[in-house]
Amino acid sequence: MTEEDVVEKVSGLMTALDDVEKYKELARAMVDFVAIFAISIILAVLLNFAQGAYDVAFASASGTGSTLFGGMPQGVATLLGTFLIPVCGILIGALWVNRRVARVRGGGWKETLGEGTPGAVKLLTNMSWDSVLSNVRISRIAFLLYALIKVAGYTLVIEILLSFLSFFLPVPFFAIPAVYLFFLSLVIVLILTRKSLTGAFQRLESLDQLYWDLRVFSTEFNRAQFGKA
């Protein structure tokens, strides 16, 4: 194996590990995502509470019908409170997660690798293989959770759209059992995002392959280092 081959292989390995660091940051950002989504749920509950309080205090007494803040029908207010605000929470959380992941800057190893084979050996020798393998495991879980959350978020958006469209249809969607409406929305999401989901599964498979390749490589490298010692 020539020096160029060694440098190329180590460069590919380090680039893959940079991606792993991004997925590791994704795992950390999940905590923020859950917090943002929880806040949106609380806001939705408060909106529904405000609707109920208005009904009790004003609408029922005046006989003008159930409205929120003098102009929003109860059905629309409930729809906003139950669906739209949590969706905003999902979107804001996703933007925040993407921002945190984008802050991860890799490539710090390029200067060392520029030394050629000695630099490649230095990078591999200083690498904590146990930590690297642990990061890959965390990254696989984080990437899978992120994919599931995106599907859930898109499903929720489709449910909102179907619910709004129901106001213009002779048979409203809210007359359909919630379970059937959920599965209908899920099927639509799976059809619309099939290419993205295929890419996600391919990325997950590549992370699995990377994990096992790293295990084999680390064993062989440590054995070679032990033999030299």
Write out pLDDT tens, residues 79-103: 666 677 877 888 898 899 889 988 8
Which residue has better confidence, 53 or 75? 53
Among the residue ranges 83-92, 146-155, 180-189, 218-227, the one predicted with the least confidence is: 218-227
Question: In the structure, what pLDDT confidence band is assigned to residue 68 with cuts at 50, 70 and 90?
Answer: very low
Say which residue, 160 or 172, is predicted with more confidence: 160
pTM: 0.66
pLDDT tier, 69 (very low <50, low <70, confident <90, very high otherwise)? very low
Q: What is the pLDDT confidence band of residue 75, given thresholds at 50, 70 and 90?
A: low
> Where is average pLDDT lowest: 77-86, 166-175, 186-195, 210-219?
166-175
Residue 21, judged by CB atoms within 10 A of its CB (0-12, 13-18, 19+), counts as middle
The pLDDT of residue 162 is 77
- Single-letter residue type at 128: S
> What's the mean per-residue pLDDT of the chain?
76
CA angle (64, 44, 150) in 5-degree steps: 135
Cα atoms in the Cβ-side hemisphere of radius 13 Å centred on 59: 17
Residue 23 in contact with residue 139, Cβ under 8 Å? yes
Length of the chain in residues, anyone?
229
Q: What ranges do the domains of the chain cover?
A: 3-223
Cβ atoms of 97 and 146 closer than 8 Å? yes
Q: Provide the percentage of residues in the chain whose pLDDT is more than 90.
A: 1
Residue with tokens 């803040």: 69
DSSP H helices in 1-80: 3-54, 60-62, 74-79
d(CA 85, CA 92): 11
> Which burial class, exposed, middle or buried, applies to 126 when counting CB atoms under 10 A from its CB (0-12, 13-18, 19+)?
exposed
Give tens-digit pLDDT for 168-181. Answer: 666 555 566 677 77
